[in-house]
Amino acid sequence: MSTLNGKAYIGKITKQSEGDKTLFFVNLSMPHGGKDDKKQYQYLSCFVSKSLNRLFTSAYESQTEEPDGKFVNTLSASIADVEIVDSFFSLDENDGKTYLNGTGILSSVSFA
């Protein structure tokens, strides 16, 4: 099991209900320095661990979509320290460009 720790911005939260179970998924963007010291982002789509359901239920209920298509919620205002377990990255091609696409399970979130 691989674990990825870092700072990330929390983006769109999606909710999926299966019977009496509620599952949350979240898009994260992790800033990192690229070549030429230009800030770049690594994007991940993560399943939210059950231990974080209360936090993400509240954030999901506050979420709105802005006119430019970005999603804003109570968690998206600040950068968070995150822990992602079972992280997996694959190459994804889109519009003739290749991207590194990440997935995993978001197991911890904290704000400084």
Q: What average pLDDT does this structure show over 29-58?
A: 85
Taking only the tens place, the pLDDT of each residue in 5-30 is: 999 999 999 999 988 899 999 999 98
Predicted confidence at residue 38, as pLDDT, reads 67
Determine whether 8 is exposed, middle or buried from the number of CB atoms within 10 Å of its CB (0-12, 13-18, 19+). buried
Are residues 24 and 48 in contact, defined by beta-carbon separation less than 8 angstroms?
yes
Which pTM does this prediction carry? Answer: 0.84
Strands 39-48 and 71-72: unpaired
Class of domain 3-110: mainly beta
The answer to whether residue 36 scores a pLDDT higher than 90 is no
Work out the pLDDT band at 54, boundaries 50, 70, 90. very high
Block residue for tokens 């019977």: 19
CA gyration radius, the chain: 15
Could you tell me the residue ranges of all domains in the chain? 3-110
35 pLDDT above the threshold of 70: no
